[in-house]
Structures are given as structure tokens and as C-alpha cells.
Amino acid sequence: MGKNSSNTPHSIERIQQWKEWDHRYIWRPFTQMQDYDQEPPLIISHGRGAYLYDIDGNRYFDGISSLWVNLHGHARPEITEAIARQAANISHSTLLGQGNIPSIELAKRLVDLTPPGLDKVFYSDNGSTANEVALKMAFQYWRQVGRPEKMKFVTFDGAYHGDTIGSVSLGGIDLFHGIFGPLLFKRCSAPYPVFSKYTSQESPQAVAQRSLDAVKSIFKQHNNQIAALIVEPLIQGASGIRTAAPGFLSSLRELCTRYDVLMICDEVFVGFGRTGAMFACEHESVSPDFLCLAKGISGGYLPLAATLTAQKIYDAFLGDYAEFKAFYHGHSYTGNQLGCSAALASLDIFETDGVLNRIKPFCKRLEERLDALFEQCDLVGDIHQRGPSAGIDIIRSRRGREPFRPAEKMGAKACLALRKHGIWLRPLGDTLVIIPPLVTTVEQIDDLMDAVEQVLKELQ
């Protein structure tokens, strides 16, 4: 195979075959397959920078970073070479009873990089397991420090923490989670302090206070039975890119400390630059008891996740073998060398490219364009944005406060129309999600927003 084999055009017969097999054999995640089979298939052949290329040779701007994972662009030489170098040595050995070099180096980098007080790194493969690990550690911690009555969990309405049964139990999106109700454990839920500079009628302080009061009354009511609270810091992702009132997170940290409740920050989405800072917690100088990382951790190249926690949690799991205090949890690919090597290369790029500074102009441009869109377009009901991440809610009429009916599938229609403009977005219901890779330029934001404006005009 030639060096540029991924760029060579595919034969018509191969393309037809792939499209047919795609329909015949693949069951896609979060997808109504009956609809999917009616849409023109989009099968990716390769990627370069912020663009994806399909097998027919069309180019698309990857406006959702391949489901919120890609940071530094596709086929980035520094990352692909790091993976290749590591694969030439060894691709995987177990972390059960052994160590490996990239997992050690990455753990040290993560502890140095994350907020103070996070001293230990437990690896897994994805966001759901990162949260599942935190949940089980928190539960077992209280049993081993002699407080077994602390068994309950507190979460937020609209929360999304993953798709395994434990992480689904912590979630608050009925559409995804309702049907599994009988399988889930009970948890207490408080309203998330959703704040939009465009539409919120109240001050951010008032919005934050209402949520804090609800959390406090749960803490009081269940007095000493709460093990942990889990929160998506600054932005709830899957519920539609909902931004939180500033100041909420730091007050929440104080409340957890006061009531002796462990705080789990799910930064699976917001970590690694998605709010403009390396970690969302940094905006409000918060150190959680557990920090869950996945999605962008490997730059978006390989499945990898980490749950970071404090020395005091770790210490509660120490004891004689026969006390059985160990954390009995692990996965086949825990601490995988290829994933950790990709993550190290990604962290290097953050430094060498000054990524967190370099994204500022495009984030500012995104905000300006969103401001203008909200002014102009009656189809835009609300917008939430924080740094490089945004959600645009479309409704039939803002003035009439009238949403579209779900059967109209307007979010999906808008995204299908955007494909014709060379833009790939995947909506959450009627929210257009804009989460471009961190390599995005001001010009690419303009192209993206020109297309969004045009498509919304056509839908009006």
C-alpha cells in the first residue's frame, strides 16, 4: 500500500459494496435505524485536520469533533507517530500485577496538571466506566471508613454520565434512561443551574442559589446517608450543551465539604480545553474528590479514560490481603500503552502549540457570530456557549415561544441540510451542537456560521 493510500479514490464497486454492507450489518449507537436506512449514507474514508472525507470524496468540517473527542485535528503526525512508535515496542500488556511505561508517565502528567488534591490515577476505557469507577470507589470508601450508612448518590436533572447501568442510574435524561428504570438504583436529583446570557430572566446568582438550596435540602433531608454528588462542571453536555450559572461550582464544592459528601466532577466532555481552560474546575478553583476524564484525553485517537482521586480515598483501600479491602474492578485494556502514548502526545501538543491561547480568537469569533445569529433569527430559541463549545436551540418561533414537534425532526433536518454545505454536525434533539476541534481557525468558524445562518433562513 502506498503512503497516501487513504487518499486514493476508491473504486465504484467497492463504494457500493461498503454502502450495502453498512446497511446490512451495522447497528448504530443512539440511532433509529429505520430512519438511518432512508438517509444517504455517510461513510468516512479519512480525515485531515478539522476535516473528514467520505468514500465518495466529499469533504466535511468536523463540527462536533467526532462526537466531542478530537482536539488537535485528524491524522495529526505527532499523535499517529507516537502510536506507531509505541506499537513497534508493545501494544498492550496488563496493568493487573504489572506496570507499563506510558501509563506511568501519563499518570504523573495528569496528577501535575489537574487541580491540587488529586493524587492517584485509575485507568479505564471510556467515560461511562470512568464514572462507574468513581461511583464504586465512593461507595466502598464509606464502608471501609466505618460509615456504611452513606450509600446514596445525588445528581442533577438533565445529567448524562454514560450508558452502563451504574452511570445510567446517575443520569437524568428520561429519553435515554426512562426505559431502564426498573434496573436502576434510586438517587436524589436537584435542578441544574442552567444560565443563558441570551434568555435568562434572573441573575446568575439567583439561578445558582436556587440549585444550591435544592442540593442543601437534599443533604439535610438524607442527613448522613449520602455517599457522593456527581456533577458536570460548567456545561451539561448531552442534555443540550446547557451552561451553568458562574459561581455555582465553587459554592457546590463548599456545600459538599460542609455536609461530608464526596464530590465527583464528570469532566468526560468538558476536560481538555472544551470550556477554554484545561479543566472546567479551574474556572472556579475547585478541587473535587474524584475527577473523571475520557473523550479528549487521548486527543480523540483511542479509547482511554482516567478517574483521579485523593490520597485519603486511596488509603481507605489499604489493609492486609485477607481484609479484602482492595478495589475489585478493572478492564482487559486498563492502562493500554497505545492510548496512554496518544494521550502523552496530545498533552505535548497543548504545550508546544500553546493551544489554550491559540483557541481564543476562534472562541471570540464564535461568540460574535452567535450574538448576531440570536439577533437576526426568530428560529433560534436560545443559545448556550462557553469558549469553544456551543448549543443552538431551534424552535418554530421565539416570539411565539413555540417549539417544533419531535416528529418534525428539525434538528436532524438542519444537520442534513448542513451536509450540503460541507459541514458535519450531529444534533441533540432540536439543539444544533457546535463543538469544533481545537485546531479550528477563525475562517472555519465563519464558514460554519455562514452555513448555519443560511440553513436556518431556508427552514424559516
Name the nearest CA neighbour of 343 among 74, 101, 118, 79.
79
We find the least distance from the C-beta atom of residue 410 to ligand PLP, in angstroms, to be: 23
> Under rule CB under 6 A, which residues in 61-80 are in contact with ligand PLP?
none
**294 binding ligand PLP? (CB under 6 A):** yes
- Closest CB to ligand PLP among residues 277, 451: 277
Contact string 114-153 vs ligand PLP (x = CB under 6 A): ------------xxx--x----------------------
CA torsion 237→238→244→249, rounded to 10°? -70
Residue 193 · residue 210 · CB < 8 Å: yes
Provide the H-helix boundaries in 304-359: 311-315, 337-352, 355-358
CA atoms within 13 A on the CB side of 243: 25
We find the least distance from the C-beta atom of residue 51 to ligand PLP, in angstroms, to be: 23
We find the least distance from the C-beta atom of residue 130 to ligand PLP, in angstroms, to be: 7
Residue nearest to ligand PLP (CB): 127
Residue 434 · residue 390 · CB < 8 Å: yes
User: How many other CB atoms sit within 10 Å of the CB of residue 236?
Assistant: 28
DSSP 8-state assignment for residue 59: E
| Cβ-Cβ contacts under 8 Å for 16 (sequence gap 6 or more) | none
What is the CA 200 to chain-centroid distance, rounded?
24
We find the least distance from the C-beta atom of residue 182 to ligand PLP, in angstroms, to be: 22
Query: How far apart are alpha carbons 194 and 206 in whole angstroms?
Result: 11
We find the least distance from the C-beta atom of residue 153 to ligand PLP, in angstroms, to be: 15
We find the least distance from the C-beta atom of residue 67 to ligand PLP, in angstroms, to be: 8
Residue 336 · residue 101 · CB < 8 Å: no
Name the nearest CA neighbour of 132 among 401, 362, 334.
334
**162 binding ligand PLP? (CB under 6 A):** yes
- Closest CB to ligand PLP among residues 73, 172: 172
- Closest CB to ligand PLP among residues 122, 160: 160
> Under rule CB under 6 A, which residues in 233-262 are in contact with ligand PLP?
237-238
Number of amino acids touching ligand PLP (CB under 6 A): 15
> Under rule CB under 6 A, which residues in 260-279 are in contact with ligand PLP?
266, 268-269
In single-letter form, the type of residue at position 397 comes to S
> Which window, 16-24, 113-121, 231-239, 361-369, contacts ligand PLP (CB under 6 A)?
231-239
Q: Which of 54, 62, 132, 232 binds ligand PLP (CB under 6 A)?
A: 232
We find the least distance from the C-beta atom of residue 458 to ligand PLP, in angstroms, to be: 31
| Parallel/antiparallel/unpaired status of strands 389-394 and 431-434 | antiparallel
We find the least distance from the C-beta atom of residue 162 to ligand PLP, in angstroms, to be: 4
> Under rule CB under 6 A, which residues in 295-314 are in contact with ligand PLP?
295
Query: How far apart are alpha carbons 264 and 131 in whole angstroms?
Result: 8
Query: How far apart are alpha carbons 365 and 79 in whole angstroms?
Result: 28
Task: List C-alpha distances in Å: 58 to 46, 89, 216, 346, 388.
Answer: 11, 36, 53, 28, 25
- Closest CB to ligand PLP among residues 105, 163: 163
Tell me the three state secondary structure of residue 423.
strand
In sequence order, the β-bridge partners of residue 266 are: 292
We find the least distance from the C-beta atom of residue 103 to ligand PLP, in angstroms, to be: 18
**161 binding ligand PLP? (CB under 6 A):** yes
We find the least distance from the C-beta atom of residue 346 to ligand PLP, in angstroms, to be: 16
- Closest CB to ligand PLP among residues 126, 431: 126
- Closest CB to ligand PLP among residues 261, 304: 304
- Closest CB to ligand PLP among residues 160, 272: 160
Interacting residues with ligand PLP (CB under 6 A): 126-128, 131, 160-162, 232, 237-238, 266, 268-269, 294-295
